[in-house]
Chains A and B, each alone.
Chain A
């Protein structure tokens, strides 16, 4: 298995809702990432997990809460989002050290 699987592919949520994005990989990668991508922009790093521990939080608002239950799973819990949080949320994984990332296809999030 050489893929990163993200669910759901599309999500529409209200500003008072609570939802979660899920990411799964079975490549044995011990680093996992959440990125946010707005239209016509590059991916922006949100969080990095290394060996299931949060190692980087790029000053992301607390309405985004990451979780890494085990080495294969990564979640992003969403609460009280704003319309400007609408974007493509990408999950990625990589082996330890300097190596390319494998990205999922993303969750297209719309906040109404």
Chain B
């Protein structure tokens, strides 16, 4: 089955700086890669996703890149704000269900 590794487990940045979270996956059949943000007391919320036929996707301050050959994908947040503080999960999905990475706790210091 799919195995998703996510790094780092914790990340602290100063407000306005950029944050990068990286994931690798094992199943070459995976072709959909969403990113979720989970705030305290809430369920995960989809923030951006990318499909295997695309190398990069951007939505305002958030961007995701995918290297399907290397089985790597990354989340980039620019101009971070305190409200970006949360746990971020990457995930990979193939024919069946979706598997999550272990999560990254991002703290943005004002």
Residues of A at under 8 Å CB distance from B? Answer: 4, 33, 40-43, 45, 48, 56, 90, 92, 98-106
Chain B 69-110 per-residue mask, 1 if CB under 8 angstroms from chain A, else 0: 000000000000000000001000100111111110000000
The main secondary structure of chain A at its interface with chain B is loop
Tell me if A101 and B102 are in contact (CB < 8 A). no
Q: How many residues of B contact A (CB 8 A)?
A: 22
The main secondary structure of chain B at its interface with chain A is strand
* Shortest beta-carbon distance from B90 to chain A in Å: 9
List A contacts of B98 (CB < 8 A).
45, 101
Closest to A42 in B: B100
Tell me if A98 and B97 are in contact (CB < 8 A). no
* Shortest beta-carbon distance from A96 to chain B in Å: 13
Tell me if A105 and B41 are in contact (CB < 8 A). yes
In the assembled complex, 6 residue pairs joining A and B whose CB atoms fall closer than 8 Å, in A order, are A56-B96, A98-B51, A100-B49, A101-B98, A104-B43, A105-B43
Evaluate whether A41 and B102 lie within 8 angstroms (CB atoms) in the complex, with A98-B31, A98-B51, A100-B49 already known. yes
